[in-house]
Amino acid sequence: MEASALTDLVVITGFSGAGKSTAMAVFEDEGYFCVDNLPVEMIHSLVELFMHSGAKVARAAVVSDARGGSYFEGLVSMLDGLPESGVRPRILFLEADEEVLLTRYKETRRRHPLAPSGSVAEGIARERELLAPLRARAEVVIDTSALTAAMLRRRLIEELLPTQPAGRLSITFQSFGFKYGPSRDADLLFDVRFLPNPHYEPELRPHTGRDADVVAFINRGGELDAFYERLHPLLDYLLPQYLAEGKAHLVVGIGCTGGRHRSVAIAEHLATRYEGDGNYLVEIVHRDVGEDP
């Protein structure tokens, strides 16, 4: 047998509506041979074909999910057996909160593949059971609940397709409101509910932490400045440590009660402080700033 031409096989799976099509497009843009909704038996046949150098396919990405029916036990067994053939697949698992998945289905008006004549919630529940063995084997698990398509693309490039210049750390400063749930993706999380709350000032309540008057209120007794005096040295120490360790992406979550005032102001401040540093790629995400005050 000729030497294998296939050097990287990525199996993209996860919940319906969690962003698998977006993920496949990312790999396709990077030059991967991509196939969507491929049955288990055909995945094995495709790998055997690509094992020959004459196939001229070095990198492939395959989307396999619940649309093929209740076959996941077979998929797990097939993937476990591939290393014996000289191919060690990487499994990318995409998931999202049930409410987010329900909203996405409402927007597209599509039926869930596991509940074509029932409710989407029933389909999600069945899918969760089928997916559990695959999630346990996945090298990378990404929750797309709070991610736009562009953000998901960036995460995939950073974690599975390292094409960014070496030595740079991508930092997302994410504001959020605890009343809507904690940040699910935060590597570092700061609770800033001890600071003065502009929500109780009627003239400030409709505004956000991007407004100078709101920032001034938060800092009315110097509390915000005192916080920065302690936070800046901590981050100045931690960020280079993560960079030296080789981490590609860091999410810094800043939470207040509603996610509109204090957390937004601090996320904006930190992004401005670090975006001029050539070692970091900075992004701001205000998860709950659009909620009704």
In this predicted structure, the answer to whether residue 181 has a pLDDT above a threshold of 90 is yes
88 and 135 assigned to the same domain: yes
Number of domains in the chain: 2
pLDDT digit string, tens, across residues 3-31: 457 888 899 999 988 999 999 988 988 88
Predicted local distance difference test score (pLDDT) of residue 248:
75
192 and 246 assigned to the same domain: yes
Q: How many residues does the chain have?
A: 293
18 and 150 assigned to the same domain: yes
Angle (nearest 5°) at CA 213 between 257 and 250: 50
146 and 175 assigned to the same domain: no
- Could you tell me if residue 57 is inside a domain? yes
Max avg pLDDT among 136-150, 164-178, 201-215: 201-215
124 and 239 assigned to the same domain: no
Max avg pLDDT among 153-167, 169-183, 275-289: 169-183
pLDDT digit string, tens, across residues 230-242: 999 999 999 999 8
CATH of the domain at 152: 3.40.50.300
Average pLDDT, stretch 43-53?
A: 77
Q: Is the pTM of this model over 0.75?
A: no
Predicted local distance difference test score (pLDDT) of residue 164:
45
Which stretch of 23-27, 167-171, 224-228 has the lowest confidence by average pLDDT?
167-171
Predicted local distance difference test score (pLDDT) of residue 165:
47
- Could you tell me if residue 234 is inside a domain? yes
- Could you tell me if residue 98 is inside a domain? yes
In this structure, what DSSP letter does residue 8 have? E
More confident position, 246 or 11: 11
Q: Which of 109, 139, 159 is the last residue of a domain?
A: 159
139 and 188 assigned to the same domain: no
- Could you tell me if residue 1 is inside a domain? no
Which pLDDT band holds residue 53 (cuts at 50, 70, 90)? low
- Indicate the SS3 state at residue 250: strand
- Could you tell me if residue 2 is inside a domain? no
In this predicted structure, the answer to whether residue 158 has a pLDDT above a threshold of 90 is no
130 and 224 assigned to the same domain: no
30 and 150 assigned to the same domain: yes
Q: Which of 138, 159, 180 is the last residue of a domain?
A: 159
Which residues constitute the domain of residue 254? Answer: 169-286
- Could you tell me if residue 208 is inside a domain? yes
Q: Which of 117, 132, 159 is the last residue of a domain?
A: 159
Which pLDDT band holds residue 70 (cuts at 50, 70, 90)? low
Count CB neighbours of 215 within 10 A.
Answer: 19
Tokens matching residue 47: 């790998």
In this predicted structure, the answer to whether residue 50 has a pLDDT above a threshold of 50 is yes
Nearest CA-CA partner of 88 in 161, 12, 13, 7: 7
In this predicted structure, the answer to whether residue 128 has a pLDDT above a threshold of 80 is yes
Nearest CA-CA partner of 228 in 286, 272, 184: 272
52 and 155 assigned to the same domain: yes
Q: What amino acid is encoded at 206 in this protein?
A: P
13 and 111 assigned to the same domain: yes
Query: Whole-number mean pLDDT of the chain?
Result: 86
Predicted local distance difference test score (pLDDT) of residue 259:
96
Q: Which helix (H) or strand (E) holds 9?
A: strand 8-14
- Could you tell me if residue 45 is inside a domain? yes
Q: What are 211-214's contacts with CB under 8 Å, separation 24+?
A: 214/261, 214/265
Please say whether the beta carbons of 189 and 266 come within 8 A.
no
Predicted local distance difference test score (pLDDT) of residue 233:
97
pLDDT digit string, tens, across residues 32-46: 999 888 777 788 788
16 and 131 assigned to the same domain: yes
152 and 189 assigned to the same domain: no
- Could you tell me if residue 291 is inside a domain? no
